[in-house]
Amino acid sequence: MKNQQPPSPPRFAQRIFQWWAGTADTEDLLGDLDEHFLYNLQSRGKRKAQWIYVVQVCSLLFSYALRKRKSAASYSTYYPNNSLAMLQNYFKIAIRNFQKQKLFTVINIVGLALGMSICLLALSMFVSIFRFDEFHEKKDRIFQINTQIADRNQKDLYASTLNAVGDYMEEKYPFIEQVIKIRSGFNPEIHHQGNLMSFHGYYAGPSFFQTFSFPLISGNPATALAEPFSIILTQSVAETLFRDDNPMGKTLETATGTYRVTGVMADLKQTHFYFQVLTSHQTYEMLHAGANLQSDWKTYRNNYVYVLLRPNTSPETLNDALAQVSANASAFNPNESITLESTALPQIIPSWNISNGLGVGWDLPTMIFFMVLGLLILMPAIFNYTNLSIARALKRAKEIGIRKVVGAEKNQIKAQFVVETILLTFLALIGSIFIFKLIQTEFLTMIMGADSLDTSLSLSVLAVFILFSLIIGIVAGIFPALYFSRLNPIHTIKGEIKSRSGGVSGIRKGLFVFQFFVSLVFIIGVGAIIKQYAFVLNYNHGFQSDHVLAVPFQSIDKQVVINEFRTHPDVSAVTAASNLPGLRLPITVDITPNEIDTLTVNQVFIGEDFIENMGMTLTWGESGNKQRSTQNEELVLVNEQFIRSTSVFAVQKDSLIFSLADGTRCRIVGILRDFNFEPLNELIHPLVFRYSLAESNFALLTVHSADIKKTINELDAIWTGIDQNASFEASFLDDKIEQAYYFLVVQIKIFGFLSALAIVISCLGLLGMVSYTTENRTKEIAIRKIMGASNKSLYYTLTKDFVKLILIAAVIAIPFSYFFYDMVLLRIFLTYSDGLGLTEMVLSIAFLFLVGFAAIYWQTFRVTRDNPATNLRHE
């Protein structure tokens, strides 16, 4: 048999192998198979050879070798050495697109920049807080002692610790190099040029400045806090008190004694301590000679202990020691279980869940709330991007179609769009850093204690910002990228994509509604708080606050000045009080209504005729007047809440008699109708009015005058006639009360700013959406016009989709914000609020509608005005 073709390997096996292998590189495998076949053909014959071939193919089909080659092949179209050029191309295309579609670019950059600015603020605070107390040289060796106190009902962790712990540990454990005791509550009122200026600070142990790395501008760190009644001022306090003089060695007069300035330190930055002045811990021991701190294993408030370990001491050693101390402490408190813990200095802030923290106490929950608020503003901006990107699909669809035809894979299209979005967010980041710089100071002054935050743009803050915008870019870009990568190239090139992206559909409707929902909730919030502000200022607190002039007594002879003021013709009445009504009342006293139980009540000292002058109502008894002592009883007035609170106790004899913590027996002679002595965000507490001119701090003058300036000047003259050392300061009670509601002004500002951002972003989105959809419908509008549609009907067709969506948003937002503000937020801020009114809801919604419709009108106006003939030619 000559000239015969050599028998070939079985076709079907070869086919199966090639089909299974797909694009994998199998050239050498097929070669091996063929060679083997030929070899077997010669040595074993055709049948056997074919059989062996099939067996070998099967062994290869299921082999790891082929699997590996197949998976390698599926990535083979990636040319990693080429990706840089590809990335460059993406950048180029992105920038060209930004230039070509200016409206789209501007809307998104502005929106994202506005949204990101709040987030940047929150982030910079986050970064700052996480770097608190990092600057101390010995930070790794300093620990704060915390106390966990658990009884049957609850378990609380306190930042402070038992009074005796500090000394006990210093004595007992040699691995502790220093114990620094810090006690809060040093609030001196310093006499300064006739004024009383109050400051807040701590009592601190002598080694404070040697342990913590606070720089002293002047003074010796070793001895600054060694003596009793020595005081350290922060720089800003020193400047207020002494201007350009050197404060070192000067003395300061306070009610508790004379302090000598032994040092000036830089203002606090990046630390959990928050104080203006420091005095030595010995001062506290001198002032409270009776308190035996060394053996006090009971009280833990206000006492903070920091330990500095010797170098190379492990924290475990400290924890073991603390376990021993805990056992000791629990022995003194049989009803509670006390566990001492330690927190390394840099970890004190941010705290997660600790009570009684020193300083402002930056805790994570608040920060997370702030961040969420920022994200809530940012989200509409991201939605804008998603919406508008998909809406302008028409413009990009052809490009994508051609890319796909040329050979771009889904992943590459996705990469392109994500890169484009990231580029846009970086542009927005630049803008938002500018906005961030603008709002930074304004916002931080509104947040308590923010002056010790360092939110300047450092390298690490910038790195966090860039990372953040990268994430935002990916989040915003992923949906458009997915959408575009799924487009069918044939449809796009034929232009069939148009019909599908013309309307506003599906998920985009949802996003759109959400944007307007957020804006509405914010704007109703602004309306609600403004109304509350007006409400509290006009609210009848239950006493007369108009025409009342408050004058601090200071060091003047109280009785003389009251008598003298009475002689002035414009002054109809004069009385006195220890605290101004309408303001916060910090003073409390413990009373025992039945000789056993105690109750904490607010206490106010008043002068004669207080009740009558302030126009308060008695529900029972008489205002008493005069401090008549009958049978060693002091005659007092109380409010109804007092009676309600004491009624729960079993009072044996006379329910009108109770005794104060210092043993004074009091008899109730009058009951006042409940009124808001404190601002409306405080509950009405039990209150006791005691007559004492000596304890009063303010003269309250009821003044009716045609020329109030003149009257005040005359009063000033009377004042200086009595005492020239004290200065005359008069302010109207109304104004003082208004200042007490400053927190509402802060809220108005914050909410106003946030809602302005949300509204601007949503309206930008609306503008973009309207302009793209009208653009997509240019031809339709032209045809409608030619067929004789009126302007009115055109507006209707163009706007009805959007109006519907805004209405849906309103329908969701109104009940939500009613519930949220009326039931939750306002009740927290203002206990005695009248809730959310209808007027401000309607006004807020009307405002948003107005802005929204203006945006729609602006865009549709353009299209309907155009000449339909040119529009038809245009496409």
Query: Which spans of this chain sit near other proteins (rule: CB under 8 A)?
Result: 27-36, 38, 55-56, 58-66, 68-69
| Least distance (Å) between residue 77 CB and other proteins | 20
Using the minimum distance from each CB to other proteins, give the nearer residue, 38 or 493. Answer: 38
Burial of 635 (0-12, 13-18, 19+ CB in 10 A): buried
Half-sphere exposure of 731 (CA within 13 A, CB side): 12
Tell the smallest beta-carbon distance from residue 521 to other proteins (Å).
Answer: 57
Closest CA to 111 of 389, 370, 385: 385
What is the distance between the alpha carbons of residues 93 and 424, in angstroms, rounded to a whole number? 12
**Alpha-carbon separation of residue 868 from 356, 791, 798, 860 (angstroms):** 72, 12, 16, 14
Token pair of 768 as six digits: 């973009």
Note the helical H segments in 640-741.
Answer: 640-646, 708-722, 733-740
Q: Amino acid identity of 246?
A: N
- Report the nearest approach of other proteins to the CB of residue 35 (Å): 5
CA–CA distance, 190 with 358 (Å, rounded to integer): 23
Using a 10 angstrom Cβ sphere, with 0-12 exposed, 13-18 middle and 19 or more buried, the burial of residue 314 is: exposed
Closer of 62 and 352 to other proteins (Cβ): 62
> Least distance in Å: CB of 47 to other proteins?
19
Q: Comparing C-alpha atoms, which of 206, 235, 234, 236 is closest to residue 221?
A: 206
Min dist. Cβ of residue 16 to other proteins (A): 14
Please identify, using beta-carbon distances, which residue of 68 and 710 lies nearer to other proteins.
68
Structure tokens of 151? 């009884």
Pairing mode, strands 657-660 and 698-703: unpaired
Least distance in angstroms from the C-beta of 27 to other proteins: 5
Distance, in Å, from the CA atom of 301 to the CA atom of 839, rounded to the nearest integer, reads 47
- Cα pseudo-dihedral 328, 331, 337, 343, rounded to 10: -20
User: Taking the alpha carbons of 10, 16, 22, 26 in that order, is the dihedral positive or negative?
Assistant: negative
Q: Which residue, 58 or 286, is less far from other proteins as judged by CB? A: 58
Q: Count H helices, E strands: the chain?
A: 29, 24
Cβ atoms of residues 637 and 670 within 8 Å: yes
Please report which residue ranges of 486-542 form alpha helices under DSSP H: 489-494, 497-501, 507-538
Residue 69 or 396: the one with the smaller Cβ distance to other proteins is 69
Q: How far is the CB of 28 from other proteins (least distance, A)?
A: 4
- Length, in residues, of the chain: 875
State residue 343 phi and psi, 5-degree precision.
-125, 130
Q: Which is nearer to other proteins, 7 or 489 (CB)?
A: 7
Q: For 444, what's the count of Cα atoms within 13 Å in the CB-facing half-sphere?
A: 20
Joined tokens for residue 81: 């050495």
Measured from the CB atom, the residue of 70 and 398 that comes closer to other proteins is 70
Question: Taking the complex as a whole, how short is the minimal distance between the CB of residue 5 and other proteins, in angstroms?
Answer: 13
Check the CA dihedral 751-753-754-760 and report its sign: positive
In this structure, the strands spanning 257-265 and 230-234 are parallel
Residue with tokens 């607190």: 541
Residue 418 Cβ vs other proteins, minimum distance, rounded to whole Å: 32
Residue with Cβ nearer other proteins (38 or 730): 38
- The residue among 35 and 137 lying less far from other proteins, judged by its C-beta, is 35
Closest CA to 178 of 140, 156, 205, 150: 205
> For residues 20 and 732, which CB has a smaller minimum distance to other proteins in the complex?
20
Instruction: Using the minimum distance from each CB to other proteins, give the nearer residue, 58 or 471.
Output: 58
Residue 361: which of 273, 291, 441 has the closest Cα? 273
Dihedral sign from CA coordinates of 146, 149, 150, 153: negative
Whether 858 contacts 764, CB under 8 Å: no
Look up residue 793 and give its two tokens: 């009907």
Nearer to other proteins, 62 or 79 (CB): 62
Rg (CA), the chain: 39
CB of 55 to other proteins, least distance (A): 7
Closest contact distance (angstroms) between CB of 70 and other proteins is 12
Report in angstroms how near the CB of residue 63 gets to other proteins at its nearest.
3
The nearest distance, CB 808 to other proteins, in angstroms, is 58
In terms of CB distance, is 76 or 460 closer to other proteins? 76
- With CA atoms as reference, report the closest residue to 541 among 687, 646, 643: 687
For residue 124, which of 436, 417, 372 has the smallest C-alpha distance?
436
6 versus 215: smaller Cβ distance to other proteins? 6
Which string of b and e fits 787-817 if b means at least 16 CB within 10 Å?
A: eebeeeebbeebbebbeebbebbbebbbeeb
- Tell me phi and psi for residue 521, to 5 degrees: -60, -45
Shortest spacing between CB 80 and other proteins, in angstroms: 19
**Least distance to other proteins from the beta carbon of 21, Å?**
12
Amino acid code (one letter) for 12? F
Smallest gap, in angstroms, from Cβ of residue 393 to other proteins? 44
Name residue 156's beta-bridge partners.
149
Which is nearer to other proteins, 43 or 538 (by Cβ)? 43
* Coil vs helix vs strand at 747: helix
Q: Which is nearer to other proteins, 61 or 73 (CB)?
A: 61
Q: Which is nearer to other proteins, 37 or 468 (CB)?
A: 37
Q: Which is nearer to other proteins, 34 or 167 (CB)?
A: 34
Closest by Cα among 562, 198, 469, 150 to 341: 150
Shortest distance, CB of residue 31 to other proteins, whole angstroms?
Answer: 3
Do 210 and 222 form a contact (C-beta atoms < 8 A)? yes
Tell me the closest approach of the beta carbon of residue 36 to other proteins, in angstroms.
6
